[in-house]
Structure 1
């Protein structure tokens, strides 16, 4: 069984979402008198569109409110004058263990290819530049022993402090009892301890000097440096490792945002709705405007938009960043319990910045006659660019360089700068690593940049739970279970990767969106098939462990 593929099965709530949404019995049914009833969905990102798609299949009528751009943080921005040459400003690499997400990718016919991460065949080669010293490598074995010592030490720390091999084997086997027996005690042990604590005080790293920890933070494992996550709860990092979220990643050819646009126009078999019905048709071809207020109206919830339009719904799904529920949207306080308000407000988002340029061709593949190596390689560095990635669209075709992908303090350094200044700084940093390469000569068009913390609709890129945040996460994750709530708190549901246990990964948005589907179905008096129980049916017996308050 342990040879089974790794999927995002738990560990907090071990439930197979991919099996639920693909089962022949379907995800559930609602009573006849509820067919055609409208449900408001705030946010047309992954969680909202996927939840709306599944609710439409049940016979409900999703009504979308979107504050700015369709797609949320699955944002693929094309370079002007091109066809399919894009900058992935949000999610750009998708681990194959995200089976729920890949179900919708496959459903919409999107093509994926291996992401050019460091030391992978997809990148071809990697350059690591730290403290002015540069190393060229194609595999880990090409790097100095220090790097292999770091990789071995981290594996040892995971095995000794988190029973990692046994726990990952249980996840692969979908052995719920084994997962809970190992994971639940880890929650109590590591909720209030940081990632850095896990590394620095492990026996494995205690045998090594500070430089090893420093290089581990700068270069990390899998996709790059992890020092920006050092203050985070170790539970957040363990989930990434356990579920293979940092391994075997792929990107979507032509941009991941297209998946949501295709799903918007996909006509599945639906209860109640005639053949050929799509989310686009049910919404008149476009979403409504920004939701500005939520309030109770008897048994209904009233949604107001920015133009003063008001409509009432039996159920509302909010998929926006949680901070918007305490800032941009005027939410009646009685709609959530105070402990939920505390959890929403304490959610901590991390900063992230990207700088992209389009170039005339993939010139980095040219061979330097002096070294016999490519002119440039996927680059990890302690300079402010941090990570540089190359996207090859074919010989002599316009291609893309992500000059810089950075987080937290490194992202804040460029926050006030113009796009042109960001490119200039990145080129100067890369010139010190590749002194003979004139990158600017190949740049075409205008750069494309993003700082997610500067976007009023996001206020940050993704959640990064701090020590002590597990209880907050459990409250908002389990909010879709509403039977025990007082009537004034029922009907408003939450979803999105920030509500999930796996922030920054779209699978978390998918899973919480599907939790909300079950909750909304139940709110309308619906139920699942006995042959295909949903997440709420199994939640009481598999729920995330509760820590004492």
Structure 2
């Protein structure tokens, strides 16, 4: 029975492949050992986001020479943009909140000594006030108990649906105890039952959610990080993974911006590396800058030729590819033999969610001023069915500027923003917020120009993150298990996909980290290395942990 002793806190031990990456990272023997003659062997790492920096950092520590290629800037979707003239104030354009259950991610946060603070999610203990604006009715609350009864009914309905139909208690208990046998037994059955079910279909067929009003409120407000309705078309399996692992709640922010994490790994001077002297960093191996974007990847016998944007061609035995997989279709000239036909189909069928944000700098955190009529803050973290959808407020003290995320939207709501300039977006949002907060002059506190992004319009991303539609489990399984190349002919090995869209929890940096570690294991195994016998890696346990395979002809 694959069970570890002792109760643990809930972690992002994803039931499809419940490998304890955090335990592997903590093992004193490290992630493996390579034959001495492999020392210094170059490995191409395409993409400088969290997956790329994780893979490059660990490959360097193993004694290989990672060669990082980056199309824009180190960080990927961990993009923290400073406001002009106030570099200490940043707009988190991509990843901005991280669940404490993401223990593999926190391995690197702690390695770099980065400080964190509670993220101001709706109704979170650290959030001073939350305002819910639905159908023209507004309710302000500090805790969920202060909301009208219908919100309590929705919360109970969601909990009941999870417990009755998705075995929430059993799965969470198995995750906490790291009882892999029970976890896979239950989850494999649920995959077979719900692969074709959308999130909305799951709600609509649950006895506790027979009321459309309850489904509407849940979609607009949700719990934990906020509303869920933009996820309604997606597979319910996507949602269950997040809920089981408590990835939807108890979030923290990284002080100074999330981009400090991947950039920190780039600059980090490792104390101990195989082959490389103490104090070696990724930056020092690259002369301070990564290579430019990759223009083409082609197989060359049992190796690869990588061509960058400046026309330089280099040969590698292994390539770790971390960007969104869609970039293989239209941003990189690819040899068709790079992947098998079923894998190319999985790449083509990948579905990305759109997302837009708009930030402004405020002269001070005026939203904390008490309303003389109610005694509450004049403005709150806001969930609304109007165009802003989500408003987040960040302060670093009463005498310092504050940062306002005036809108955080997804999918169709993001599309409403896509054709507007930054200035036009700001005007529309201020108009909508004036109706929610009459008498609050937000504009008078805005300093400088807004900062904004629409991720589906970003050429090297084309979306915020992947989210599988009903029936796409088989495609996701192909992409995730692609790192398991043991036994394949040499001419079919060596190209490793990773990144959060290859993971089972797309949109979470934890998935970027863990799939990068899968790729590291794959490179080590391909180059004749091995993990420590007392601490096998993910590929070593693939037979026991592999995601359930659904029939193709049924």
Give TM-score, length-normalised by structure 1: 0.99
Q: Which of 219, 235, 238 does residue 236 from structure 1 map onto?
A: 238
Deviations 1:339-384 (A, max 9, x none): 0000111110000000000001000000011221111000000001
1:483 equivalent to 2:491? Answer: no
Alignment of 1:371-520 (within 5 A): 371-520=374-523
| Counterpart selection for 2:91 from 87, 105, 108 | 87
| Deviation of 1:3 (Å) | 5.3
1:335 Cα offset (Å): 1.4
d(CA) in 1 for partners of 2:87, 2:314: 39
Aligned twin of 1:273: 276
Partner in structure 2 of residue 250 of structure 1: 252
Within the candidate set 311, 314, 318, 2:317 is matched to: 314
Q: TM-score, normalised by structure 2?
A: 0.98
Which residue is equivalent to 2:119? 115
Rounded Cα–Cα distance in structure 2 between residues aligned with 1:324 and 1:353? 20
Of 544, 549, 552 in structure 2, the residue corresponding to residue 546 of structure 1 is 549
Match of 1:54 in 2: 58
Q: Contact 2:357–2:453 (CA<8 Å) still a contact in 1? A: yes
Does structure 1 residue 263 correspond to structure 2 residue 265? yes
Structure 1, residues 464-496: CA drift from partner, whole Å, max 9, x if none? 100111000111101111123333221100000
Q: Could you tell me how far apart the structure 2 residues matched to 1:543 and 1:3 are?
A: 24
Aligned-partner Cα distance in 2 for 1:132–1:485: 60
Is the contact between residue 41 and residue 64 of structure 1 (CA under 8 Å) also seen in structure 2? yes
**Aligned position for 1:226:** 228
Q: CA offset at residue 405 of structure 1?
A: 0.2
Inter-partner Cα distance in structure 1 for 2:204 and 2:343: 34
Change beyond 3 A, Cα 1:49–1:423: same
The C-alpha deviation readout for 1:70-94, integer Å capped at 9, x for no partner, is: 1000000000111320000000000
Superposed displacement of residue 461, structure 1: 0.4
CA distance in 2, matches of 1:383, 1:116: 20
Secondary structure at the aligned position of 2:14 is classed as: coil
1:140 aligned to which of 130, 135, 144: 144
Q: Give the alignment of 1:141-160 within 5 angstroms.
A: 141-160=145-164
Distance in 2 (CA, whole Å) between partners of 1:235 and 1:484 is 31
Residues 528-539 of structure 1: matches in 2 within 5 Å? 528-539=531-542
Q: What do the CA deviations read for 1:302-338 (whole angstroms, capped 9, x no partner)?
A: 0001111100000001101000011110110011100
What does the per-residue CA deviation read over 1:175-227, in whole Å, with 9 as the maximum and x for residues that have no partner? 01110111000001011110001111101112xx2111111111111111111
Residue 130 (structure 1) aligned with residue 134 (structure 2) = yes
Equivalent residues in 2 for 1:316-355, closer than 5 Å:
316-355=319-358
Bigger mean CA deviation after superposition, 111-120 or 259-268: 259-268
Q: Structure 2, unaligned stretches of length 5 or more? A: none
- Structure 1: runs of 5+ lacking an equivalent: none
Tell me if the contact between 1:354 and 1:406 (Cα under 8 Å) persists in the aligned partners.
Answer: yes
Task: Report if aligned partners of 1:334, 1:488 keep a CA contact under 8 Å in 2.
Answer: no
Give the Cα separation in 2 of the matches to 1:392 and 1:353.
22
Taking the aligned partners of 1:376 and 1:284, their CA distance within structure 2 comes to 48
Distance in 1, matches of 2:365 and 2:273, equals 45
